Amino acid sequence: MQRDRILSLARSYGVDIAWVAFVGLNLIAMRLVPAWQTVPFLIIWVSLTAIYGARLWRLGSTLLTVAVVTLATGGLIGWQVIRGEQDLDYLADVPLLAMMGVIMVWHARTSPSTTCSCSTSSVSSCKTSRTSWERRSPLPLATPSSSSTPPPTGRLPRTPGWPLTSC
């Protein structure tokens, strides 16, 4: 019984678990190679915005994740600043990227496509007031339906038919 529950949770949260492991590896890389820590630092933040854009976590989970990533990356960079391995100005990137993450969460939560109401059995029938190309967003957040408004003449959707939804 317990094993089935663990397997069920692993299937449900597999992407999230893989992302946490990925972040852990990037934090190790930041610690071991201070001269190149910009790359894993930015990869952590870009991957956070990408996974959130695809999964739309609950608000509490999202804010906790942003706080943990901020403390982990900021703490590691702060420690390296104290030891003289990094310049103090590099530490300014941490709150800037955290603020970018919070703004992205706000935008995703206030977008018309994330406030639609759908039945859980029929996600494809979800109607939104604005499609991805109208929002000029590369990530459509609702499944396109046959009755959705066609794109304006001369402009095509960037990622047609990508079935992401928040409903």
Alpha helices in 33-131 (DSSP H): 38-55, 59-82, 93-110
By CB neighbour count within 10 A (0-12 exposed, 13-18 middle, 19+ buried), where does 18 fall?
exposed
pLDDT of residue 164: 44
Write out pLDDT tens, residues 115-134.
555 444 444 444 444 455 45
Per-residue CA distances from 65 to 8, 76, 105, 158, 161 (Å): 22, 16, 12, 29, 29
pLDDT per residue as tens digits for the range 36-93 = 888 999 999 999 988 887 777 888 888 899 999 999 999 999 998 998 888 888 888 9
Q: Does the pLDDT of residue 23 top 50, yes or no?
A: yes
Q: What is the pTM of this model?
A: 0.62
pLDDT on residue 106 = 82
pLDDT band at 150 (very low <50, low <70, confident <90, very high): low
